[in-house]
Structure 1
Amino acid sequence: MASLEKVLKIKISALTSSFRYPFVMIGRLPTYVMPPPATIYGNLCGVLGEWFDPSGLEFAYTFSHRGIGEDVELAHVLEVSTGKKDKKLGNLPKNVEGSLNPQKRQFLLKPNMTLYLRGPHHLLEHLKAGFLSPRFAYLLGRSQDLATCHSVEYIELFESNRAFFSHTLLPWRLRQYVLVGEPVHMPMVINYHKMREPAFERYLQITDKALRIFGEGLEEDIISRSEFNNLLIDKTEKKTFLGRELYRGLWFHPIKGIDQNV
């Protein structure tokens, strides 16, 4: 196995997290079961306390949770009022009026994320210092989803033709080559210069059922080896499948910033 450059490995956990699924607006607010790529960039910006240029920076992760819960939250819906004086307000003009809109929101219980970052060394060093002493309260999702960073360290990755992938995202183009996983449409980047307009990308989501690549063509979960000859693996994490040990595979995705073209 050939050793490659070192990458930053960060272990994170929280009590809850929620990554709102944007295509449902009323009734129930579902969550993605793992963070979208756009969330990863926002996560790193919160650590550093500023927007930054992520050129050359890539991420891979594993993300798991212990179940999906549901809570009721109230949305305060406001609209312009008549502007006429209101006796209930001491004859002050009533400029706005509103109502409460209860909605069910999903959240993930006890999530764990292992985040891998690779890119320019100076940027990795800046991010390492940020995770050890974040500029803002560290979050894994919404503002109430306080998280803990347990460790930040450099590790070496290796190349192999054998690996397993689980609880992670793969590029959609691999769909035609693999037998497990499901499609998911996620925001890749948020354009804050254009009223937070998201740009979406399709990914292949691998959850509990692992994608196993034994390198032998037998009992594995791929139908073609064309995309899986030089896999990146983390040799600090391994599992046994059908009596054979496999190391965790990592697939890196580019991180897009608010000033980068999609």
Structure 2
Amino acid sequence: MAGIDKVLKVKISAVTASFRLPLIMVGRLPTFVMPPPATIYGNLCAVLGEWFAPEGLEFAYTFTHQGIGEDVELAHVLEFASGRNDKKLGNLPKNVEGSINPQRRQFLFKPEMTLYLRGNSTLLERLHKGFMSPHFAYLLGRTQDLATCHSVEFIELATSDRAFYSHTILPWRLRQFVSVGEPVHMPESINYRCLREPVFERYLQITDKPLRIFGEGPEEDIIFRGEFSNLLVDQTEMKTFLGRDLCRGVWFHPVKGMG
């Protein structure tokens, strides 16, 4: 295996996390089981304390949790009132009125994420310092999902024709070449200039059943080798499959900005 440029590796955990599907606003609110790419950009902005242009910045991650729970929360729905004087308000005009809407929201219990970042060395150094001392409280999901950053370090990835992928997302174009995984439609970015409109992209989600690439043999989970001949792997994380040791594969995606 040959070494390549250094990447930033961050290990994070939380008690809960929730990544709500953006097109579902009322009723039962399900969660993605992995953070959307748009969430990663938002997290990095919180670390630095500002919006930033992520040109050339790429990310990869592994994300696990210990189960999916469900909680009931109250949404306070406000709307314009008649503006007429109200005796209950001491004859003051009633400008707004509201109602309480109970909603069931899914959450992930005890999530853990290993985040890899690759790009401009100056930006990576800023992010390294930011994760060590974030500008805003670090979150893994919503504002109540406070997270802990356990380690931030620069490591070297290696190249190989053998690897395994699990608990991560891969580009959708690989769907036709592999026998595991499931499709997922996630926000790639959020257009903050247009009422926070999500911009979606399809990904291949690899969860508990790993994608194994042995370099040869019928036991592996790919049917075409063209996309898997020069893989990036983290040599510090290794598992054994069918008596063969494989390093964890790391597949990078571009970080999109504000849309």
Report TM bin, short chain: over 0.9
Deviation at residue 158 of structure 1 after TM alignment: 0.5
Aligned-partner SS, 1:227: helix
Deviation at residue 248 of structure 1 after TM alignment: 0.1
Cα distance in 1 for partners of 2:84, 2:128 equals: 56
Tell me what 2:45 maps to: 45
Q: After TM superposition, list the pairs within 5 Å mapping 1:128-167 onto structure 2.
A: 128-167=128-167
Aligned-partner SS, 2:247: strand
% identity of equivalent residues: 76
Which segments of 5 or more consecutive residues in structure 2 lack a partner in the other structure? none
Aligned-partner SS, 1:128: helix
Aligned-partner SS, 2:122: helix
Deviation at residue 218 of structure 1 after TM alignment: 2.4
Cα distance in 2 for partners of 1:115, 1:189 equals: 18
Aligned-partner SS, 2:173: helix
Deviation at residue 217 of structure 1 after TM alignment: 2.8
What's the TM-score, normalizing by structure 1?
A: 0.98
Tell me what 1:244 maps to: 244
Tell me what 1:5 maps to: 5
- Could you give the per-residue CA deviations for residues 103-138 of structure 1, whole angstroms, max 9, x where no partner exists? 100000000000000000000000000000000011
Cα distance in 1 for partners of 2:42, 2:217 equals: 40
Aligned-partner SS, 2:53: coil
Aligned-partner SS, 2:228: coil
Cα distance in 1 for partners of 2:116, 2:189 equals: 18
Deviation at residue 2 of structure 1 after TM alignment: 1.3
* 2:22–2:198 Cα contact (<8 Å) kept: no
Cα distance in 2 for partners of 1:116, 1:96 equals: 47
Tell me what 1:20 maps to: 20
Structure 1: which amino acid aligns with 2:158?
Answer: F
Cα distance in 1 for partners of 2:154, 2:172 equals: 28
Which segments of 5 or more consecutive residues in structure 1 lack a partner in the other structure? none
Tell me what 1:229 maps to: 229
Tell me what 1:67 maps to: 67
Structure 2: which amino acid aligns with 1:228?
Answer: F
Structure 2: which amino acid aligns with 1:113?
Answer: M
What's the TM-score, normalizing by structure 2?
A: 0.99
Q: After TM superposition, list the pairs within 5 Å mapping 1:102-113 onto structure 2.
A: 102-113=102-113
Aligned-residue CA RMSD in angstroms? 0.7
Deviation at residue 22 of structure 1 after TM alignment: 2.1
Structure 2: which amino acid aligns with 1:165?
Answer: Y
